[in-house]
Structure 1
């Protein structure tokens, strides 16, 4: 029961990364390439656990928040910069979360979009205003359970053969699949989750936290895989309506309502966690300098309120949800290397962490994940520049060129982290 309670508590991490972006990307991957990209989901789940465990170990091992480990003086600017970057990324995600939830609920409920947007934002604000992590995590675990049951049930009805599933676990890149592969990883390894996990780790035991994180992230990976398998039934261009039609063919009249509830639950759960993550990041990174950063404090509420308000404004603007979701993923793809690099830096503070500091294996795996994060960020940046200046993007997004830059970034990160480890 204690282990189950830990998994339910840490399901907040699953709720954060399984939003409309994951539903859109995983279903598109299944529609375009079948089960061939399941291996990318498996990698992203492993990378998520590695980074989340590191974030928890940093806080539990040192008894300090990440912002305190940076130090004072000019280094404090790094903490402020990270906070503003994470808050900006959360606001971008929030817009996609609300619009995705609205798009899902409208599949079966003919309710005006502005009414649903206001209702989702009001529900999120009500849970966040109380400031009780226990109440929030219980609500989120319920939404994850509903969402997981519906998507796993839909995937079970598809019944892919074991051989087809097994072939999807072997790394391969079918022609034209690179962008979706990058998106699958980027939508699972979410940068703001690292600070959310760090903030929620205070006062917890490391062994129990590892168990809870492992179970919750594995559950999230299972749900994401179920969404990908469900998406294999969409034979033409992806859209929420096309996915609903495919589910109706497979599941009968329950297909469309099931997708509506599943997508709605994904959007609502992420619409709660994105503002919460921004506020917890502020609490972790800069909240030690002054008061009012408690869960019912002024700055904590102002932060999640600003993110919630931005998401509501965008959802009322009439922007189409799928492009907004993809843009949010691109923005956060740029933030991910910053968050991962910061985490590696503080995890090598042997003076503060002692035996809980990163060892050789942890550093190797962390730098590997960091390199992938840099590759994702550079690819997203190249895509944005290509669109801005009207180029095809072939040269800017060359895998060899991006891989070389990513390797160089890993070497610089290793030098920076090991220098931190050598400090007395």
Structure 2
């Protein structure tokens, strides 16, 4: 009999991987800035967004499991071609910018841990390792690797053992929202929502569920094998809620760490994950600094392939290419070419003088805007009997899904207004 912990690890899959991929270096920088600027006042967001994230990602997973096709493939089948092309182009722009920003954050953290890289080899090494991992490893081997890399996010939980925490204040600000109607607070709230509910996660999880289903003996799309519905739905529910719980717990601890170290010592501006890691050292000690920096590197190694892979799935499904991580590179050349090119373009951003902070801001704007039509498309597909048959999503998922879509629409509007004011 397998040890219980090995069996438990085998059961987690796309939901867990998607959840921990959400806490990428870009997200780390955003959450650190939230804690540095507003202390514990934004801890409530981690609790508030959990049911919304979990519902959206379960909807994405169900689409893949029921139809046997990812989100992009279903858009191609049921919506006008122009809409599909627009979605693919925006995902490509958003993901490549995100890849570049994440590689930059990882390289900066590697400099802090391993020493200065005068030849700029760190971005190249990160890109090569990411592409090779996706290209050479089978889906089962790569999935196992991602699960182990996902454990890096718990480095942020470990940081609290090195600092003093005002737990009564933390409990109050977690359970009771302390809203501020200032421009800075609302803009930061928009940024946190935008980096938490990201469009590439919808594409990645729906496609990865299809991949997981194909690689699990005796499983088939639920529309074809309705007797498997209960088992498959329960599997994705447990997996997805675990992943989203981990994602939001890590968000909570990053905000908390920045609040009790940086904000408490008057440091209120953090513009990158690297700066957050460096700022922790004098106020929380070398161990907290190392945990934070290593966490950035580990989550980045998870996020970069996820971003590149989700673009590969989106384009492959949209243009009817052979798509999937279990194919050899010569069997799915265009799928793997997209992954390689997207990663290399992201890497190139770190060599042509693009300000990584501006790249993060641009990525947040694009993600915030793109998430709105994708959420409405996601919900439309999930409620469409032509796609889902009799397995259209129930009300318990539809209601939080629509609430999320409306909130993200408001968030996108606020982002555009804020951008317009800044350019005026």
Under a length normalisation based on structure 1, what TM-score does the superposition of the two structures give? 0.84
Matches within 5 A, 1:311-322: 311-322=346-357
Is 1:381 the counterpart of 2:416? The answer is yes
Is 1:257 the counterpart of 2:290? The answer is yes
Is 1:137 the counterpart of 2:121? The answer is no
Counterpart contact for 1:102–1:113, Cα < 8 Å: no
Measured after TM superposition, the shift of residue 337 of structure 1 is 0.5
Measured after TM superposition, the shift of residue 71 of structure 1 is 6.4
Matches within 5 A, 1:19-418: 19-67=24-72, 69-70=74-75, 75-108=80-113, 109-112=115-118, 114-130=120-136, 132-146=138-152, 148-169=153-174, 170-174=176-180, 175=182, 176-202=184-210, 203=213, 205-232=232-259, 233-234=261-262, 235-236=266-267, 237-239=269-271, 240=273, 243-287=276-320, 291-295=321-325, 296=329, 297-388=332-423, 390=424
Gaps of 5+ in 1: 391-424
Larger deviation, residues 242-251 vs 318-327: 242-251
Measured after TM superposition, the shift of residue 53 of structure 1 is 0.5
SS in 1 for 2:348: helix
Counterpart contact for 1:79–1:286, Cα < 8 Å: no
CA deviations on 1:169-209 (whole Å, 9 max, x unpaired) are: 22232343111111111111110110110001122622111
CA deviations on 1:86-112 (whole Å, 9 max, x unpaired) are: 122111111111111112112232223
Gaps of 5+ in 2: 214-218, 220-231
CA deviations on 1:263-310 (whole Å, 9 max, x unpaired) are: 2222222112110111122234443xxx43344312211221221121
Measured after TM superposition, the shift of residue 80 of structure 1 is 2.8
SS in 1 for 2:41: coil
Measured after TM superposition, the shift of residue 245 of structure 1 is 4.7
Counterpart contact for 1:17–1:270, Cα < 8 Å: yes
Change (3 A) 1:99 1:64: closer
Measured after TM superposition, the shift of residue 222 of structure 1 is 1.2
* Distance in 2, Cα, partners of 1:242 & 1:158: 18
Under a length normalisation based on structure 2, what TM-score does the superposition of the two structures give? 0.84
CA deviations on 1:349-395 (whole Å, 9 max, x unpaired) are: 1243234213344332211100111112222222333333x2xxxxx
Measured after TM superposition, the shift of residue 316 of structure 1 is 1.5
Change (3 A) 1:245 1:302: closer
Counterpart contact for 1:42–1:221, Cα < 8 Å: yes
Measured after TM superposition, the shift of residue 238 of structure 1 is 1.9
Change (3 A) 1:72 1:4: closer
Aligned-residue CA RMSD in angstroms?
A: 2.3
